[in-house]
Amino acid sequence: MSDQAISDAETSLARTPPKGFALAWYRLKKSLATPTPYMMLFGIILWLGTYYLLTEGWKVPRFEKIPGPLEVMTEFFSFDPIWGTSLFTEDFRINVYVSVRRIVIAFSLATGLGVPLGLFMGWSRIFKDYAFPILETLRPIPILAWVPLAIIMFSGFETPILFLATLASFFVTTLNTMLGVESIDESYFRAAGCLGSKKHHVFWHVVVPGAMPFIFTGLQISIGVAWFSLVAAEMISGDYGLGYMIMDSYMVNKYVSMVMAMISLGFVGWATSAMVRWGGNQMMQWRVKALALEGR
Amino acid sequence: MATNKTSTRRKARKTGKANGHATDKQIAGKSKLELINVSKSYGEDWEREEVLVNLDLEIQPGKLTAVVGPSGCGKSALVNLIAGFEHPDSGQVLLDGKPVTGPGRDRMVVFQESALIPWQTAYQNVIFGPQLRGDMSAAQMKEEADKLFETVGLVEFKHKYPLQLSGGMQRRAELARALINQPKVMIMDEPFRGLDAMSRELMQEFFLRIFEKNRRTNIFVTSEIEEAIFLADRLVVLSNKPTRVRSVIDIDLERPRTFEMLSSAKAYEYKREAMEILHEEALKNFKSSGSQSDFVEAFSARNE
């Protein structure tokens, strides 16, 4: 093989994008060459170190009652937990499962209702005139103010909680979707008009994809809001769920379990956000590729 | 309809003779666009701004009509009316004698800043029109699109998204998107604005080759006089607001055009003529706004 052929082979190799494991490995190597992972590691150590010193190390007044990181972690991964709850006990898994299930239902409902509503409000002047004032009046009412009403309106434990979590994220999704439609550049509508689109063409080819970036920004906020209102609702009127676990552990002085529930919320919430982000990137490859060109 | 066509043809023969390079055959069957007594104003009732007042303009069939005017005159309004995005307050916009009622495939606009749809690949953008209307078979659509990508030199970039393309490539893709629809009239709204000088020249030449091949009726709005002279058969100079047609200059340069023609005495004369009118109009803008009268005086003193 001549040199020319070798270099050709090399360039063609470099030009075909790697897939699956090779791609992950390439990404990992690339990110290890940047300061990002080391800074992250440093940040985590700093945070955990401070937490440890305040609680377990120096036992600073007012902090000594808080379970320290070592205690929580030992308990978390213990097969025989002192306080009765760990990663391997049934009740913990049930609590996580119940909360996640509620979030999935509430978030799906909110998205399924909010996105179409927002699209129509952004697209049709008349529809907006009807719906917007009501939305804008209901939206500022804090979700906690809805709790009594939710308990009166719905029976049992489950439906009021679902209602509260759905309501909060529904408002966020609707508003963001509507703003998304309004943000679409007029020239795309004009171009579509020139090319002879009918109204429904414009809706599916311009309005929906054009609002996507805003919709997914909205969905990321909305899933956070859904968690927030879910936990609030679970704390007040729950039966199972991570919010319930926090309140319940607090009532019976199981502070370690309480912190475990908090940490779990953090991780599960982060995972759901990441999934929404991933979904958005899958649906907006045009945007991902453009941002990649700008080095983002 | 038939009488209309013959009258167009007769007219074409006359003007064709005057210009010496647009032959009858090239003009036959091409569309004519007319603005008759068109007025358009914008704004609230108490601060109405008359942008176009009783404007008459004829875009002759098979010719490239360039429209230049002082900045802020109603060039964009003109485009919007012809494209059908907006409607005149009074008067008529006629395409082959039929009034324009809204945007349509017979009048394709190439927009100022690229209006390629960013969530469609270049290819999807190009086939967007025929696909929506369903007036081409899939095979025909693919063939036409492939041919156009060849013409605009974007074959390798077919499946890229617009944001992955350079400015010049975006304009070419947009040209392809317009051309696949076989419009009767092409409306170019400062299409090369924002490109760097090099890409701009390349785009002008490239655009000329396409025009000289198919001789589609063309209206080319620009703010660059050189560009206008290089491309156009007729140069329409608009006045300051309220906009009227200030002057029409027939550009009698041979086709195919080359950049060398721009340095000919003839081209220079056209440029001087147009510049003079534009200066006059631009100065009116200063005067009518009331301020800067010192500057206007100084300028006219220098010109004397």
Is the predicted pLDDT of residue A11 greater than 60, yes or no?
Answer: no
Q: For residues B152 and B171, give the distance between their C-alpha atoms in angstroms, rounded to a whole number.
A: 10
Structure tokens at B123: 């290819």
Q: For chain B, give the percent of residues with pLDDT over 90.
A: 16
Range with the poorest average pLDDT among A59-73, B37-51, B284-298: B284-298
Phi-psi sector, A73: left (phi>0), alpha (psi -120 to 50), beta:
alpha
Q: What is the pLDDT of residue B94?
A: 87
Q: For the residues A264-271, what does the mean pLDDT come to?
A: 94
* Whole-structure pTM value: 0.81
Three-state DSSP state, A2: coil
Q: What is the pLDDT of residues B186-204, one digit of tens each?
A: 999 988 888 888 888 888 9
Q: For residues A263 and A246, give the distance between their C-alpha atoms in angstroms, rounded to a whole number.
A: 11
- Residues 165-224 of chain A with CB under 8 A from chain B are 185, 187-188, 190-198, 201, 205-206, 209-210, 212
Q: What is the pLDDT of residues B36-91, one digit of tens each?
A: 888 888 888 888 888 888 888 888 888 899 998 877 778 888 899 999 999 989 88
Q: How confident is the model at residue B1 (pLDDT cuts 50, 70, 90)?
A: very low
Of A194, A212, A293, which is closest to B103 when you measure between CB atoms? A194
Residues of A with Cβ-Cβ distance to B164 under 8 angstroms: 289-290, 293
Cis peptide before B61 (omega within 30 of 0): no
- CA distances from residue A45 to A48, A213, A255, A261, B84 in whole angstroms, order as listed: 5, 35, 23, 21, 64
Q: How confident is the model at residue B256 (pLDDT cuts 50, 70, 90)?
A: confident
Q: What is the pLDDT of residue A263?
A: 94
Q: What is the pLDDT of residue B294?
A: 59
Chain A: residue nearest B111 by CA? A187
Q: For residues B38 and B92, give the distance between their C-alpha atoms in angstroms, rounded to a whole number.
A: 6
Q: For the residues B203-229, what does the mean pLDDT come to?
A: 88
Q: What is the pLDDT of residues A185-241, one digit of tens each?
A: 999 999 999 898 889 999 999 999 999 999 999 999 999 999 999 999 998 877 889
Which residue did the predictor score with more confidence, B17 or A189?
A189
Is the predicted pLDDT of residue B209 greater than 50, yes or no?
Answer: yes
Is the predicted pLDDT of residue A276 greater than 70, yes or no?
Answer: yes
Q: Is the distance from CB of B125 to CB of B173 less than 8 angstroms? A: yes
Of B115, B119, B164, which is closest to A190 when you measure between CB atoms? B115
Contact B117 A206 (CB under 8 A): yes
Element (H, E) at B87: none
Q: How confident is the model at residue B291 (pLDDT cuts 50, 70, 90)?
A: low
Q: How confident is the model at residue A162 (pLDDT cuts 50, 70, 90)?
A: very high
Q: Where does chain A hold its CATH 1.10.3720.10 domain(s)?
A: 90-293
Is the predicted pLDDT of residue B13 greater than 60, yes or no?
Answer: no
Q: For the residues A166-174, what does the mean pLDDT come to?
A: 94
Is the predicted pLDDT of residue B205 greater than 80, yes or no?
Answer: yes
Cα atoms in the Cβ-side hemisphere of radius 13 Å centred on B135: 11
Is the predicted pLDDT of residue B299 greater than 70, yes or no?
Answer: no
Best A186, A194, A208 residue to mutate vs chain B (most B CBs within 10 Å): A194
CA A138 to chain centre: 23
Is the predicted pLDDT of residue B286 greater than 70, yes or no?
Answer: no
Is the predicted pLDDT of residue B92 greater than 70, yes or no?
Answer: yes
Q: For residues A131 and A114, give the distance between their C-alpha atoms in angstroms, rounded to a whole number.
A: 12
Chain A: residue nearest B83 by CA? A194
**Residues whose CB falls within 8 Å of the CB of residue A129, separated by 6 or more in sequence, listed in order:** none
Element (H, E) at B187: strand B185-189
Q: What is the pLDDT of residue B268?
A: 87
Express the helix, strand and coil content of chain B in percent, nearest 5 each. 50, 20, 30
State the smallest CA–CA distance between residue A131 and chain B in angstroms. Answer: 27
Chain A: residue nearest B174 by CA? A191
Q: What is the pLDDT of residue B245?
A: 85
**Residues whose CB falls within 8 Å of the CB of residue B1, separated by 6 or more in sequence, listed in order:** B96, B97
Of B108, B115, B119, which is closest to A187 when you measure between CB atoms? B115
State the smallest CA–CA distance between residue A169 and chain B in angstroms. Answer: 27
Taking each helix axis from N to C end, the angle separating A69-76 and A255-283, rounded to the nearest 10 degrees, works out to 80
Contact B115 A289 (CB under 8 A): no
Structure tokens at B259: 């950049």
Residues of B with Cβ-Cβ distance to A197 under 8 angstroms: 132
Q: Rounded mean pLDDT of chain A?
A: 89
C-alpha dihedral, A36 to A38 to A44 to A48, nearest 10°: -170
Q: Is the distance from CB of B16 to CB of B22 less than 8 angstroms? A: yes
Q: What is the pLDDT of residue B39?
A: 87
Q: For the residues B229-233, what does the mean pLDDT come to?
A: 89
Q: What is the pLDDT of residue A49?
A: 94
Q: Is the distance from CB of A287 to CB of A217 less than 8 angstroms? A: no
State the smallest CA–CA distance between residue B60 and chain A in angstroms. Answer: 21
**Residues whose CB falls within 8 Å of the CB of residue A110, separated by 6 or more in sequence, listed in order:** A165, A166, A167, A168, A169, A170, A172, A173, A222, A226
Q: What is the pLDDT of residue A183?
A: 94
Q: How confident is the model at residue B6 (pLDDT cuts 50, 70, 90)?
A: very low
Q: What is the pLDDT of residue A227?
A: 95
Contact A290 B118 (CB under 8 A): yes
Q: Does A293 touch chain B (CB under 8 A)?
A: yes
Q: Is the distance from CB of B22 to CB of B41 less than 8 angstroms? A: no
Q: Please name each of the domains of chain B with its CATH number.
A: 2-106+183-303 (3.40.50.300)
Q: For the residues A270-290, what does the mean pLDDT come to?
A: 91
Contact A284 B132 (CB under 8 A): no
Q: What is the pLDDT of residues A178-193, one digit of tens each?
A: 999 999 999 999 999 9
Based on its alpha-carbon atoms, the radius of gyration of chain B, rounded to whole angstroms, reads 20
Q: For the residues B101-130, what does the mean pLDDT come to?
A: 89
Contact A194 B133 (CB under 8 A): no
Q: What is the pLDDT of residue B282?
A: 77
Q: What is the pLDDT of residues A126-149, one digit of tens each?
A: 999 999 999 999 999 999 899 889
Phi, psi values for residue A44, rounded to 5°: -65, -45
Q: What is the pLDDT of residue A247?
A: 93
Among the listed residues B215, B149, B217, the one whose alpha carbon sits nearest the alpha carbon of residue B180:
B149
Q: What is the pLDDT of residue A103?
A: 96
* Most confident residue range from A101-105, B72-76, B237-241: A101-105
Q: How confident is the model at residue A5 (pLDDT cuts 50, 70, 90)?
A: very low
Q: For the residues A251-260, what does the mean pLDDT come to?
A: 92
Among the listed residues B210, B208, B214, the one whose alpha carbon sits nearest the alpha carbon of residue B233:
B208
Contact A286 B163 (CB under 8 A): yes
* Pair type for strands B90-95 and B98-99: antiparallel
Contact A195 B129 (CB under 8 A): yes
State the smallest CA–CA distance between residue A196 and chain B in angstroms. Answer: 5
The sheet with strand B33-42 has its strands ordered as B49-59, B33-42, B90-95, B98-99
**Residues whose CB falls within 8 Å of the CB of residue B301, separated by 6 or more in sequence, listed in order:** none
State the smallest CA–CA distance between residue A205 and chain B in angstroms. Answer: 9
Among the listed residues B117, B286, B34, B87, the one whose alpha carbon sits nearest the alpha carbon of residue A197:
B117
Q: For the residues A25-39, what does the mean pLDDT come to?
A: 90
Amino acid code (one letter) for A169: S
Of B105, B107, B161, which is closest to A286 when you measure between CB atoms? B161
Counting every residue written for chain A, the total comes to 296
Chain A: residue nearest B79 by CA? A190
Q: How confident is the model at residue B23 (pLDDT cuts 50, 70, 90)?
A: low
Contact B128 A195 (CB under 8 A): yes
Does domain A90-293 fall under CATH 1.10.3720.10? My reply is yes
Return the ∠ at Cα A200 (arms to A197 and A203), rounded to 5°: 95
State the SS3 of A52-116: HHHHHHCCCCCCCCCCCHHHHHHHHCCCCCCCCCCCCCHHHHHHHHHHHHHHHHHHHHHHHHHHH
Q: What is the pLDDT of residue A146?
A: 92
Q: For the residues B105-132, what does the mean pLDDT come to?
A: 89
Q: What is the pLDDT of residue B246?
A: 83
Q: What is the pLDDT of residue A135?
A: 93
Among the listed residues A146, B110, B285, the one whose alpha carbon sits nearest the alpha carbon of residue B295:
B285
Q: How confident is the model at residue B153 (pLDDT cuts 50, 70, 90)?
A: confident
Q: For the residues A249-262, what does the mean pLDDT come to?
A: 92
Chain B: residue nearest A186 by CA? B115
